Amino acid sequence: MVVLEIDAGNTFVKWRIRCQGRPQAVQRWLTQDVREGRVLLPEDWSGVQQVRWVSVAGDKVDHWLQTAFQALAVPVVRAVARDQQSGLKNAYQNPRQMGADRWLAMLAVWQQLQDAFCVIDVGSAVTVDLVDRQGRHLGGYILPGLRLLQQSLLGQTAGVRWQTTETDGSLVPGDSTAACVENGCRYQMAALLQYVEQDCRARNIRHIWLTGGDASRVASWCPQAMLQETLVLDGLQGLEQDLCGAG
């Protein structure tokens, strides 16, 4: 079976081909390029036999993808968050209110571990989800990511203006407005990750997983965590037709 797996997020649309269970390299487009129709259908897609996808990118991106799927004329499966799946139980009273990407990331880890864990997805937003050893989702948190933190200062604070600079990921106090903002946002993110580690220890959760587009940028601030940037795509592998809405 040749399967096309797609994770359409707020910043990037990531995709890969899985052939006979083996995933190929992940490709990605800027979500804005897809939204504005600046992306061509890849030749690699012509040989797929099934599509599995998840999207939180909005109607324009969804429409572009669905039009592409129609041209492929193959079965299409779209992931949705469930109340429970493969022993994983959702804390949400209305699971459809949860982004399906969060659910897939949890599902991917649960299917590997069958033990208590925390997933931190670091992208445009940061999501933190906790699961106990019985597979019960304990709930989570949603916070702005690094870029949104910086943009919020630029947009909401009239006196704060700076030009983005190339930095080394420093957490030291800044000596310019640019350094103060950029290092300050990283400092806040590092503090969050350290608190998550502390909270996990208190809950006897020994496994922390980092995923998302900015996961590698923050991994050094959460040394206990396992870095796996493809968790959402990995979660698509476990989908079954009767557990998902059709795309």
Give the integer Cα–Cα distance in Å for 18 and 51.
Answer: 10
Query: Any catalytic annotation for residue 101?
Result: yes
Q: List, edge to edge, every strand of the sheet that includes 137-144.
A: 137-144, 125-131, 117-122, 207-211, 226-227
> Considering 7, 101, 121, 129, which one is annotated as catalytic?
101
CB 200 within 8 A of CB 206: yes
Give the integer Cα–Cα distance in Å for 100 and 104.
Answer: 6
Residue 226 in tokens = 């396992």
CB 113 within 8 A of CB 226: no
Q: Which residues are identified as catalytic?
A: 101
